């Protein structure tokens, strides 16, 4: 029998970390997760929901802790999902964002190298559509692909671009298997409420059950290519099973505005007009906005055989249904 494959996931407490750990566990991997900080409030949640994950304490800004994590887990595959990952937050904490989201990638790659695992460990780097920036002159009609120009519009996007290029540099310099997934927005029931989709579905469920009167949002016209995170982690895994390292866009090929998301989400609970329930607050607007993101996933579909299973209405529906269950449980507990 072949040895059990081992995977190390940084960012185990995040949305993608949870989906990916579940997928790898189902595939028979031994799964290790890097957990940051003393008294991490998410530790108990991970231990409860994913008891099969071996937790290792470490931090992307602490190179020695990463070396230890790589030595302890001895991974065949390392998925670097950890980051300061929120665009709005990155404007308020740009230096921390650079330390974690940019230099942290270098620290992870170096940990693989200094432990002598550069030929043994395949690395996935979580790159992002935020590297494109969405400016009109830079937008091909069919959506951004792996060859589109980058023009990040936030400290987060700039930091991720460093991560993307240092990952490619290690692939070229040291012949390491490092693949970058350029993922467009991906959402779901594990999404944090600081992101607009979950903020909306969480509020819609609570408004429906009378637990809150309204929701405050920023700009409603930006458009995003929103997919389901559960589909996207399958694409990450496929990238590391491919014969060679490469860059791949994962996206749905559709773009929708926040207004469209609101219409579908409120529609799920039988409210046809969302306007009385939504107010706009400049606090949620960004110093520079990405107007529109649309991705072209045809390379991943063709080369990796990747396909998404959940469409846009399906995504909104599953998120609202999940949040209705949570809100109902909350109502019963008060």
The piece of 12-20, 44-52, 283-291, 316-324 that touches ligand GDP (CB under 6 A) is 283-291
Work out how close the CB of 62 gets to ligand GDP at its nearest, in angstroms, rounded to a whole number. 26
To the query of whether residue 124 is one of the catalytic residues in this protein, the response is no
Cα distance between residue 185 and residue 293, in whole Å:
9
To the query of whether residue 128 is one of the catalytic residues in this protein, the response is yes
CB 247 within 8 A of CB 180: yes
CB 188 within 8 A of CB 229: yes
To the query of whether residue 156 is one of the catalytic residues in this protein, the response is yes
Binding residue for ligand GDP, selected from 42, 68, 113, 199, defined by CB under 6 A: 199
Residue 88: burial class (beta carbons within 10 Å; 0-12, 13-18, 19+): middle
Task: Determine, following the binding rule CB under 6 A, whether residue 222 of this chain makes contact with ligand GDP.
Answer: yes
What does the per-residue mask of binding to ligand GDP show for 159-198, with x meaning CB under 6 A?
--------------------------x--------xxxx-
Distances (CA, A) of 198 to 192, 194, 280: 6, 7, 17
Binding residue for ligand GDP, selected from 55, 88, 242, 277, defined by CB under 6 A: 88
Task: Determine, following the binding rule CB under 6 A, whether residue 94 of this chain makes contact with ligand GDP.
Answer: no
Question: Which residues lie closer than 8 Å to 224 by C-beta, 6 or more apart?
Answer: 184, 185, 255, 256, 258, 292, 293
What does the per-residue mask of binding to ligand GDP show for 24-63, with x meaning CB under 6 A?
----------------------------------------
Cα distance between residue 261 and residue 200, in whole Å:
8
Binding residue for ligand GDP, selected from 258, 262, 304, 319, defined by CB under 6 A: 258
Cα distance between residue 284 and residue 219, in whole Å:
8
Q: Catalytic site residues?
A: 128, 130, 156
* Residues in contact with ligand GDP by the rule CB under 6 A: 87-88, 130, 185, 194-197, 199, 217-219, 222, 224, 258, 284, 286, 289
């Amino acid at each position: 029998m072949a040895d059990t494959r081992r995977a190390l996931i940084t960012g185990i407490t995040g949305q993608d970390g949870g989906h990916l750990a579940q997928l790898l566990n189902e595939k028979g991997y031994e799964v290790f997760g890097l957990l940051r900080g003393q008294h991490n409030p998410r530790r108990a949640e991970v231990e409860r929901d994913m008891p099969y994950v071996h937790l290792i304490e470490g931090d992307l800004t602490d190179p020695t802790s990463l070396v230890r994590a790589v030595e302890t887990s001895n991974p065949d595959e390392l998925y670097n999902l950890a980051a300061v990952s929120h665009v709005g937050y990155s404007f308020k904490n740009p230096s921390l964002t650079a330390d974690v989201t940019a230099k942290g990638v270098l620290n992870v790659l170096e940990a693989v190298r200094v432990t002598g695992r550069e030929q043994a460990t395949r690395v996935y780097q979580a790159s992002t559509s935020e590297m494109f920036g969405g400016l009109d002159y830079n937008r091909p009609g069919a959506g951004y692909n792996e060859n589109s120009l980058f023009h990040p519009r936030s400290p987060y996007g700039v930091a991720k671009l460093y991560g993307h290029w240092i990952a490619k540099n290690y692939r070229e310099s040291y012949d390491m298997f490092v693949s970058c997934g350029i993922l467009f927005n991906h959402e779901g029931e594990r999404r944090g409420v600081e992101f607009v989709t979950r903020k909306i579905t969480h509020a819609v469920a609570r408004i429906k059950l009378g637990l809150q009167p309204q929701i405050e949002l920023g700009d409603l016209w930006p458009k995003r290519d929103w997919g389901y995170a559960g589909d996207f982690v399958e694409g990450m895994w496929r990238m590391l099973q491919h014969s060679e390292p490469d860059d791949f866009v994962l996206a749905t090929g559709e773009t929708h505005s926040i207004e469209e998301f609101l219409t579908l989400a409120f529609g799920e609970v039988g409210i046809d007009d969302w306007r009385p329930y939504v107010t706009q607050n400049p606090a949620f607007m960004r110093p520079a906005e990405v107007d529109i993101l649309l991705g072209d996933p045809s390379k991943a579909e063709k080369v990796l055989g990747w396909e998404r299973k959940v469409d846009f209405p399906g995504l909104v529906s599953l998120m609202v249904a999940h949040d209705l269950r949570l809100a109902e449980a909350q109502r019963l507990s008060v």
